[in-house]
Amino acid sequence: MSYGKGFVIFKDFYEEWTMLTWNVLCITGRLQNNLSSQNVISNDDKVIYQRLNQALVELVNYSNVNMPFMGYYQDTDFEVLRQNTERTLQELYLLTRQFTMTTFHNHGEVENFHRLCIQFGEQFLGPCIDHLKAFCNMYSVARWRVVRAAQIARMRDQGTQLDEPVTSLVAFYSIMMYILAVLAARLQVRNTFLSSTFCVATAAAFTSGF
């Protein structure tokens, strides 16, 4: 598995974007747990939560323009992973779009959309994450083996050359963490939108249904 020049150019950007995104996701997740558990939180916390969500939206939009990771990882297995990831993100977009274009008139329509969300998880999101895990497990073992072999060779020959195996390993994890961050960020953005809007739609559906 090799890396094209594009990855080298965007390497720092991949890593910085991923680090920022995971930090925002972690803080947002903690604040969201407080909101969902109905803990007493300050108005400042609510403002921070809203700003973090907006920052996450901007990070997602920025990744669309500046981080086309597809194609920089030159491997047929990665191409399959790329296609599965793209398909999952596309289905997530379509699900959100369908929600924004639907008016919920009764509880049955609310339940039907809920089933669509479950179906998305079972048919697309779950298999995509499982594929990513399997891909990481398979290729990380091989790359660590190369690094250890290079370490042994360096000790045996009393050399200093270890850059390429380590660089390759770091690049591998950078790409994997980026893909996972893209999935997590998109899901969080959609979840925040769906949760807030879905509550209003559900209340309206129940009100009109009685």
Is residue 57 within 8 A of residue 152, CB to CB? The reply is no
The owner of tokens 């939108």 is 193
Segment 43-102, tens digit of pLDDT: 777 788 888 889 998 998 887 654 445 444 567 888 888 888 889 989 988 988 888 787
**Count of domains in the chain?**
1
Segment 147-168, tens digit of pLDDT: 888 888 888 877 666 677 888 8
pLDDT recorded at residue 209 = 43
Span between the terminal Cα atoms of the chain, in Å: 60
The owner of tokens 């039907």 is 112
Amino acid letter for position 16 = E
Backbone angles phi, psi at 3, to 5 degrees: -120, 135
**Is the pLDDT confidence value at 5 over 70?**
no
> What's the rounded Cα separation, in Å, for the pair 61 and 73?
22
User: For 5-14, 20-29, 68-77, 201-210, which range has the lowest pLDDT when averaged over its residues?
Assistant: 201-210
Give the domain extent around 74: 2-209
- Which tokens in the block code for residue 61? 């939009």
pLDDT recorded at residue 23 = 92
The residue ranking higher by pLDDT, 5 or 186, is: 186
**Is the pLDDT confidence value at 39 over 80?**
no
